[in-house]
Structure 1
Amino acid sequence: MFVKARGHAAASSGVSPVWTFPTWRRKLTFSSRNPLLLRLFSLKEWSYIVGCNPEGIVAKESVKSQEFRVPFRDVDMHGEMFRSSYVVRAEEAVTEFWRRRKPQKDDPFFRIGKITCTFHSALKLGDVVQTHIGVSKIGGKSAGFLVHMLRGNEAVAEAEIVWMACDPESKEPVALPEDLRDWLYQFLD
């Protein structure tokens, strides 16, 4: 999946369009004149991109990262953040992600089907953490969200949360509506 970057210095100066390929840790970019030249963007420029082609069809959707500071209530006697707090912060990031979309009358009820969390390094009291979120998978009756937690440029944890679509009254699994699936595809990693 390649995307012509908008607003990038090289693209706006008329020198050469820049194409991007999103990865889970950082965005790799290369010039269309020299596709082997790779440059790493900083994590501040993180964005999720819908599929495009090098002919210039572009549809880009940025997901703003959230930032939080590890509070005293979330640390143990050794000064490290409780493991359950990582899941809470990941759920908060998914909730903020959903605020981007206005509720529709045909939206299903969602329940959590699965939560997994991979820990890379411990967070300490007062650490500033950025969370980046994207859609990891879109199934027939579920959607998965991947939340990356970073301290500076260091990966701290990754949480995957899978939401199951259910009927609001019977709570039985139902298929995701097409308009919701289309909206989620904008953020697919």
Structure 2
Amino acid sequence: MTDIQQQAAWTVRIPFHDVDMHGHVHNSVYFPYCETAITEYLRQQGLSEVFSPTAHDYAYHVHKVEFTFHRPSFFEQQLYFHVQPAKLSRTTIEFRVSVYATEEPTPRVQARIVWVCVQNRQIRVQAIAPAVREALIPLLES
């Protein structure tokens, strides 16, 4: 197993329904892939509970998404998603996701996804909970 495979938060083998008429993964499919990779990363870090909207009076909504596409991916190809919490502000968390194919040292796709913390009932932006902040600080990229 390569380093890319070992360090992946999530992997997927591209199903046919995610391929567009040009024969490669449709760009829009990468967003749910990256959201799943972030969720899996948080689960692997033992953070599912601190991010659970049903357990707290806050939730995280997507605020901003940015993708850079370097090379296409194709049906049946195995992709590896690496997740890194990158920035933490008073109200937002930025994740960086890099998508690799087997045995490739450079990513095919890179994403920046920013979540904003909101109060559940009023959907009003609020400060990130101390428990979440404390859990993420050690994971931030250097």
When normalised by structure 2's length, the TM-score is 0.84
- The question of whether the paired residues in 1 share the 8 Å contact of 2:57 and 2:121 is answered with no
Deviations 1:34-54 (A, max 9, x none): xxxxxxx933454xxxxxxxx
Report how many residues are paired: 132
Residue 116 of structure 1 pairs with residue 104 of structure 2: no
Unaligned runs of 5+ in 2: none
Kindly report which structure 2 residues correspond to 1:19-30, keeping only aligned pairs within 5 A, or say none.
Answer: none
The equivalent of 2:124 in structure 1 is 172
- Looking at structure 1, the residues matched to 15 and 116 of structure 2 have their Cα atoms a distance apart, in angstroms, of 31
The equivalent of 1:65 in structure 2 is 9
Which structure is higher in helix share?
2
- The structure 1 residue matched to 2:94, chosen from 131, 144, 156, is 144
Q: Which has the larger radius of gyration?
A: 1
Which runs of at least 4 in structure 1 moved beyond 3 Å after TM superposition?
Answer: 104-107
- The question of whether the paired residues in 1 share the 8 Å contact of 2:79 and 2:101 is answered with yes
Letter paired with 1:116: E
Unaligned runs of 5+ in 1: 1-40, 47-63
Q: Which has the higher contact order (CA 8 A, sep 6+)?
A: 2
When normalised by structure 1's length, the TM-score is 0.64
Kindly report which structure 2 residues correspond to 1:25-174, keeping only aligned pairs within 5 A, or say none.
Answer: 42-46=3-7, 64-99=8-43, 100-104=46-50, 105-106=55-56, 108-152=58-102, 153=104, 154-174=106-126
- The question of whether the paired residues in 1 share the 8 Å contact of 2:4 and 2:100 is answered with no
- Looking at structure 2, the residues matched to 102 and 66 of structure 1 have their Cα atoms a distance apart, in angstroms, of 15
Identity %: 25
SS of match in other structure, 2:71:
coil
State the Cα RMSD in Å.
1.8
CA spacing shift, 1:65–1:102, aligned 2, 3 Å: closer
